[in-house]
Chain A
């Protein structure tokens, strides 16, 4: 592939549309500076969009549009046509065109790309060009600036050029990805580690608890066994007591029976007495109350009977008078009624006469009518048959027509219904099909969701236990943190106190002389001064009091190197009148003699001098201060040993060898061993530092656990919300499927019933069709018959005759009416006559009744007068009987009272007997309840014994021992309490969790190793890729540099082992010169070297065409020629377009395109061929 033509339009100095042809060889572009020759190269960069990494020679894109005096056509365009006959670009076209156009407008500029005349994006253009090995970093378009850049860039930047060519970025990306994976795994491992630590801690604690629980369990089992023994013996007791209870029960039962017999006998006696009393009472009752009362009642009855008879007699007499008066009145009424009957008989006779004349008239008319009827009958007999047939026919015809219309309407209705049913059926079937398929898909989806939910739940569960572990890890870490913090606080307080003490020391209180000397030492006025004893010795805190007392004022003795230093100091003090001080010159002090060993004496701690820590150099001075003073524990020890040695107690009491004892309450001494405090402060500071870092670690641990908890919880809540969502989706699906099932069933039922209905409709239809056909046939036959009959019926006399008959009939009806009126008049008169006669009859009968009544009344009077006499006789008899009965009753009553007393006595006896029976029965009941309770208790105990697994036959140890055992076991158990019995099972589950978590960690560790291996692998591959490219380019460079400069040059990696850690330098030794670094070379040499580098890259990654812009500017003649030669030789394989003003270059090309600016600001193009043609 090569550039065939560049077409420029308003691009920079090319104001007109210009087409510049190119060939697949070496073309130079030349012309004076400012003629616009470089604009050709710029147009290539512009059109192919290669300008990103290199600046084009224009500030803004709009500056690329040709303009003169600020006027501009507003648009510029460059088209490059590639020859693609060799199909280097895998598109099946001989020519490929790329066009870019820019347009400027008020709101800015717009840039358009076209690939093969189709609008395209820059990325698409780049993708296409990359297939033909044209890329932005490919160095196939090289500007003067690029050459300078290669020289001036840093070694690392230069190395990155190779990186880019080797494509190492790909491995960097992969590595970055792996690193982020690694980070994830690291975090997981950290998390798992926290969990494992937590679970292990829990496990070890649980192990303790479990062991305790197991021990507890064994005690408990033992206790239960012993309790069983206890139970067995209790059982034995219970059985014994049951036996005695049964015995008692038998005794009492016998006694009770005896009492019952006694009671029965007494009951019989009482009953007998009661019966006798009752009999007596009955006699008294019947005698007294019964008969006496009856007699009195009868007397009363008789008195009443007499009074009633008297009343009846009086009433009957007055009634008789009334009846006589009524008889008179009835006689008068009968007389009037007879007169009325006679008048009525005359009226009836008159009416009968009128009726007879009317009947005669009626007879006459009847005869006339019969005559007319006779005539009609004669005529009628001829036509009668025809007429009745005709009217029948007409009726039948009408009926048939109605029938037919009815059936047709019915048929339409049925057809309509059938169509509707069919539609409905089809709809239902379609609904069923779609419902089924939806159910199926819902089922599948439901299954998937179910599986997803299970999986999510499993994960969520796992997270829950992770979270629990994390939280307890956090609690533990927090506890640690608090413990460390409180320790730290204590240390800090102690530090503050120690510091206070040091300060106190510093404010104190050497004598003025000692202060003066120390000051002189510090200002380096006086040499050879080591310091005071207090400064130089370190003591343990616990001995400090004793040692300070032992040393006394000698603590402020000053240790100096030699006697000369000492005397200098003394003169110094004298001069300044600052008092005196004691100096201990090391060169002159007496050495420590061997000392007795007191160590194994009780109460002796050691020689004071041995308890002070100091530089051995000062030994003589310290011997002077402490001598053989012993430190002892107490004053008692000191007293025991008094006189043998100088001693000081820990409290600071002093016992001299002489026996002198000094002591008492001691104020804090102002003179102190400073060194000990300082030592202490140092130690404290160290401890504080350690504690602080521990605290920081604890805090960061808590924080990291918090972070883990947070992310775990977040994960979990995400899972939960997912589960929630899926669950509701699942429910929705289930509900939807259920609804669909119901719908399908309904539709199926509907179809079945629709089919039945359609079948029925079809049957109906057939029947109706038949009926219609039949009706049609009937109508036709009836119509023709009717027509025939109607013709027949025409012309006769009947109408006239009929009219005459009608008139006569009317007259007859009128006559008959009048006769009927007269008859009814007669009848009513006769009826009135009957009524009057009947009344007379009635009155006569009444008269008879009254007579009979009067007779009866008179008889009644007589009867009642006789009855009154009977009553008076009976009353006299009854009064006599009453007096007899009263005498009899008195005797009987007295006898009854005696018998009642006897009964009361018998009742008392019976009551007593019953009471004792009740007592015995109650006792028996109590015994029975006790027996039942005992039996139940025994039963329960037996059950418990069985439950506890105590074999009843087992040898039961003595009960005291059992009780002792139980209380011992209880005590042991109590000592163990509280016991976590759950620990036994919990231990197993925690152990399982530990195993699971450890496995998880193993997996993660393996994963981590895999990722690390992968990263290592990428690193190796990246290096390999780099080295392959580098080696190739370096080889090229060696050859090309030699070719160009006749010298030796090479590319050198600063760090060949790890090329990415260092840069790339170029070592060049042009012919006849010393090896030098690029920075030290001349401009021409630099250009040459940079070109060699560029050529090396190009040779490694050949491109189809090359465009160079004045790369030979700084080369001297010989080198320019060499470069030209090289390009010429390279141009046999690739197209070269080189902008140059150098003759060697121009002359080497196949042709030259000359650019001149003949008009203002407009470049013109001419060209000459140099080789070939």
Chain B
């Protein structure tokens, strides 16, 4: 349980970080691609970006669209984030 909480906090922190990053980006453009957000091309680096995005999408901060699975993902403003 202790571990579980730590884990949750961990996720929430990275979500917050991600919101900051995206806010900055959406200030000057309509969408961001996933590959632009990834700084480190390792599984760890990818997951650190991808997981928070899934949470944000569910919370309707962003919308994720992907034309072909496993290819580029486009990130746009969600209804909660406003314009």
Contacts and interface: CB of A to CB of B under 8 A. Distances in A.
Interface of A: 20-21, 30-32, 34-35, 1083-1084, 1113-1114, 1116-1117, 1141-1143, 1146-1149, 1151-1158, 1164-1171
A330 B26 CA distance: 199
B47 A1164 contact: no
28 contacts: A21-B69, A30-B51, A30-B54, A31-B58, A32-B58, A32-B59, A1083-B1, A1084-B3, A1114-B4, A1117-B3, A1141-B7, A1143-B47, A1143-B51, A1146-B43, A1147-B43, A1147-B44, A1152-B47, A1154-B51, A1154-B54, A1156-B58, A1156-B64, A1157-B57, A1158-B60, A1158-B64, A1166-B69, A1167-B69, A1168-B70, A1170-B46
B34 interface: yes
A35 B53 CA distance: 13
A356 B39 CA distance: 188
The 6 closest A-B pairs by CB, nearest first: A1156-B57, A1170-B43, A1147-B43, A1166-B66, A1154-B54, A32-B58
Interface string B45-56: 011001101110
A1094 to B, nearest CB: 21
B18 interface: no
A1169 B54 contact: no
A839 to B, nearest CB: 172
B64 A1146 contact: no
B58 A34 contact: yes
Contacts of A1147: 43-44, 47
The interface size bin for chain B is 20 to 34
A751 B36 CA distance: 108
A31 B54 CA distance: 6
A842 to B, nearest CB: 173
B3 A1167 contact: no
A627 to B, nearest CB: 95
Q: Chain B binding site: helix, strand, loop or mixed by DSSP?
A: helix
Contact of A1146 (B51, B55, B70): B51
Contacts of A1152: 47, 50
A1116 B5 CA distance: 11
Given A1166-B66, A1167-B66, A1168-B70, A1155 B54 contact: yes
Nearest to A1115: B3
A35 B51 CA distance: 12
Given A31-B58, A1158-B64, 7 more contacts: A21-B69, A1147-B44, A1157-B57, A1158-B60, A1168-B46, A1168-B50, A1171-B43
Nearest to A36: B58
Contacts of B60: 1158
Contact of B64 (A1113, A1153, A1164): A1164
B2 to A, nearest CB: 9
Q: Considering residues B44, B57, B59, B60, which has the most beta carbons from chain A within 10 angstroms of its beta carbon?
A: B57
Contact of B54 (A1117, A1148, A1156, A1171): A1156
Contacts of A32: 54-55, 58-59
Nearest to B2: A1116
Given A32-B55, A1147-B44, A1165 B69 contact: yes
A1147 B54 CA distance: 15
Contacts of B4: 1113-1114
Contacts of A1154: 50-51, 53-54, 64
Contacts of A1143: 44, 47, 51
Given A30-B51, A1151-B70, A1166-B66, A1157 B43 contact: no
Contacts of B47: 1143, 1146-1147, 1152, 1170
Interface in B18-75: 34, 43-44, 46-47, 50-51, 53-55, 57-60, 63-64, 66, 69-70, 73
Contacts of B63: 1158
A1158 B61 CA distance: 9
A649 B20 CA distance: 128
Contact of B73 (A1084, A1116, A1166): A1166
A1045 to B, nearest CB: 16
A537 B55 CA distance: 99
Nearest to A1166: B66
Contacts of A1114: 4
Nearest to B56: A1156
Given A1147-B44, A1152-B47, A1152-B50, A1158 B58 contact: yes
Contacts of B46: 1168, 1170
A1113 B3 CA distance: 10
A1156 B73 CA distance: 13
A1070 to B, nearest CB: 15
A1154 B55 CA distance: 10
A1164 B34 contact: no
A1173 B73 CA distance: 16
Contact of B58 (A1083, A1157, A1168): A1157
Contacts of A30: 51, 54
Nearest to B78: A1158
